[in-house]
Structure 1
């Protein structure tokens, strides 16, 4: 259990690290932790997902808890079910990981996060005890397991939040990467003034066309080519569990998630003047600038969905965005949904006549490096070397909200250790590409020395 229970979720190789015995124990532990009469369970299209989800449901039912199985689902569809039904939930997915992996994302009722600091440790310990031969006290009864379809309700809810019925007709290419976007997009977009060109909508958890990770530029190539070939207005790329959405413009050029965050933030501030907008610390400096310019209050947080959701709850924020293309909405139970962010982009584009490249330019101010990973044996030592090299320079500030953030005149960079691998992750932003390249070389020289 200590190998597969991560900071935010459960993740492991099937069946070597994660099998039905493990998930049945986790289901029982989750039911005990949640303390609710009913829980909801969904799963993605991976070959192992249905059986693992069924085992989890057996474990929960063994504790006297009723289980609502919603079957195939994107992660944000599971969050919708947890919110709409007011039940704790579990989603079986390994997101963008290769086919041999699977995992579980768990939440409390109302899609409230469960992470290392909010219950995941207790669930891990209880599941480990069960596997070690220490059974839980007998339950008074066995719960029921029933099935319920939620896709149509999910689509209707999203379409009530963003009205796309009056936008100009748009042609959009959608790359589902054989993931759950191929299941949700047709229902959500049905009847809208959109001509959808679909790429890889067939559900296939072996990912035969490319990895379901649009954060890696090589996985956007097919989408970029198709947008140009079809003369489309934009392209959308979803990851495996379709909770993240990446956008490319009509030229096939990627639109930064920071730009999308700023664009959606402005739309949310129009509905909620003066509201708080969350951004993580490696989002572009343009985001808090634009939020302030539109009368909002920016709030900076650590990287990771559990931190964003906690900050949203404590500040009452209406929206939050991350560099990784996770987007969080107060009116979606503070949970992340790439689909809702995509609908905001479609609305913003379709409500005016400019192409997306020109529309996005209003929200883009600086050049960035993207995330650069370096394999290092001594993460703490290399981070300290970076601090010593840059922290004492005139006009430079350093903070440790999440890793090491070093800020100078017109530039900043962040160095963070990976939670799961011997990596340091570097993100840089500066005035232009040349300044980014120069700073990148200087920082990497220290990290990789």
Structure 2
């Protein structure tokens, strides 16, 4: 029979067969419950399915069309995203999502959401998509959690008959380079998430070293969620090999794409801050081979990485060391060798959009008439720099895979990326590489006989501002459609999000509204001639979007009632 507690709301077309539903639960239209238990004050969305033996804790929220598989337990106060399929018990963490992949790869709370059990199953799902006997590179950062997860993932791969080239603890630029130079079909890199220090990030690479395209990510998600896993026979279990000389192989390519003679005669003095994220740094060895003097700071490993405040203090310390030593420049390296903050000879840091413009200016002055690939979020300073030096700017979606792909597809690309994501030098390998970026900076500054501060002073001045607006995920598409419909006559770009031109046909003044893929927010980015104009546009579009959201949410409440 059916057991219902007090104040249970059951919407039309709900299908209940032997459930136990406790007090205060709300069941949406068309929800199906089969021999399960739903604890108090939980909400089950429309057309959600809870199957036999499943237990839903108190104060949980199950999104529309989500599904809880048989005998799965969801602990109290969890949220399951619309459309998600929960096939294993959900005990820790925030909840379950429909998509494994985010902007850079698969990210989750270390040893809570990204667990050894998860990694084994994920490795088996990935291996099941590959031909038996294929080879895959596996690499990681130096932290213990990454070692544990990589070994679990390798076990899953081996169980499907996949052979592993284990690079062990390796910076991701070196891993990408090796994927392109070994007889492998792809790679996996495991590291702490650069954005969230309590999260682990798992990135899957294709045979060129580029992050998997969306279509391949979806295939992997489907294999994982459906548990569509291949099992090899005893004779077909994969092996682990450890290729030697990975750093030496990368170093050969590294030096081949630099003007070594210029660097040797530069007398450059560089200060590199590793912010306690690496032990046994590779870059100083490579620079020493080129005759460059590098002073290394904080090159020891802390299992708990520095907080944002600690990194800011280390950056301030780096600036003081650079000025005291009269060094050429300083660098704070992050994200397992991908990202960096640059400090000029006066101790002033350059990061984010300013660093994008700085690198664009240096590269186009050195290679006039060539092509830059940047995300849609880059300011108009890049376009002005390209105009001065006869270059071309290609804008892509604001995600790493799109940038890497564009750098490979277009001819004459000398630089890709941004100050926030990192920089790509396609002639070396298709991914971001902070190590090569540092060497390239030294080379170009030497050849052009400039200091970083002098180049910085010559950058075009643009007003640029980013404002973040809260927006429920379900309404992001509606907001973008509204903006398109109301601005179609004034010119639009739809590469990623919606770029509007308030003073159309002028295209040097624009507003970009871009959803964040991993958070219920919209970023409003405004580029213009002066701060006054930019601030007016930020206020206008913030008000416009807030008003639209208020009307939509009010309408939803009215419909529900």
**Aligned counterpart, 1:50:** 147
From 250, 261, 267, the counterpart of 1:169: 267
1:264, distance to aligned residue in structure 2 (A): 5.1
Corresponding residue SS for 1:28: helix
Distance in 2 (alpha carbons) for counterparts of 1:247 and 1:298: 23
**Aligned counterpart, 1:306:** 401
**Aligned counterpart, 1:111:** 209
Work out whether 1:355 is the aligned partner of 2:451: yes
Structure 2: gaps (5+ residues): 1-96, 548-561
Distance in 2 (alpha carbons) for counterparts of 1:434 and 1:358: 28
1:334, distance to aligned residue in structure 2 (A): 2.4
Work out whether 1:399 is the aligned partner of 2:493: yes
**Aligned counterpart, 1:419:** 517
1:202, distance to aligned residue in structure 2 (A): 1.0
**Aligned counterpart, 2:410:** 315
- Structure showing greater Rg: 2
Does structure 2 retain, via aligned residues, the 8 Å contact 1:4–1:18? no
1:218, distance to aligned residue in structure 2 (A): 7.5
**Aligned counterpart, 1:227:** 322
Q: Which moved more, 1:185-194 or 1:439-448?
A: 439-448
Corresponding residue SS for 1:354: coil
Distance in 2 (alpha carbons) for counterparts of 1:388 and 1:213: 46
From 362, 367, 391, the counterpart of 2:463: 367
Distance in 2 (alpha carbons) for counterparts of 1:197 and 1:433: 39
From 341, 351, 354, the counterpart of 2:437: 341
Q: Which moved more, 1:422-431 or 1:373-382?
A: 373-382
Q: Deviations over 1:39-80 (max 9, x none)?
A: 111101233100111111121122222111111112111101
C-alpha RMSD of matched pairs (Å): 3.1
Corresponding residue SS for 2:492: strand
Does structure 2 retain, via aligned residues, the 8 Å contact 1:2–1:124? no
Does structure 2 retain, via aligned residues, the 8 Å contact 1:257–1:325? no
Does structure 2 retain, via aligned residues, the 8 Å contact 1:8–1:116? no
Work out whether 1:78 is the aligned partner of 2:172: no
1:90, distance to aligned residue in structure 2 (A): 0.7
Does structure 2 retain, via aligned residues, the 8 Å contact 1:24–1:55? yes
Q: Which moved more, 1:305-314 or 1:435-444?
A: 435-444
Distance in 2 (alpha carbons) for counterparts of 1:289 and 1:213: 35
1:147, distance to aligned residue in structure 2 (A): 1.9
Corresponding residue SS for 1:202: coil
From 100, 111, 114, the counterpart of 1:18: 114
1:292, distance to aligned residue in structure 2 (A): 4.8
Work out whether 1:262 is the aligned partner of 2:357: no
TM-score, with normalisation over the residues of structure 1? 0.85
| Aligned residue pairs, count | 435
Quickly say closer, same or farther: Cα 1:16–1:5, change in 2 above 3 A: same
Quickly say closer, same or farther: Cα 1:116–1:152, change in 2 above 3 A: same
Distance in 1 (alpha carbons) for counterparts of 2:543 and 2:343: 32
Corresponding residue SS for 2:127: helix
Distance in 2 (alpha carbons) for counterparts of 1:432 and 1:182: 46
Higher relative contact order (CA 8 A, sep 6+): 1
Quickly say closer, same or farther: Cα 1:250–1:397, change in 2 above 3 A: farther
Quickly say closer, same or farther: Cα 1:285–1:45, change in 2 above 3 A: same
Does structure 1 retain, via aligned residues, the 8 Å contact 2:99–2:221? no
Structure 1: gaps (5+ residues): none
Q: Deviations over 1:54-109 (max 9, x none)?
A: 11112112222211111111211110110121421110013313442112111111
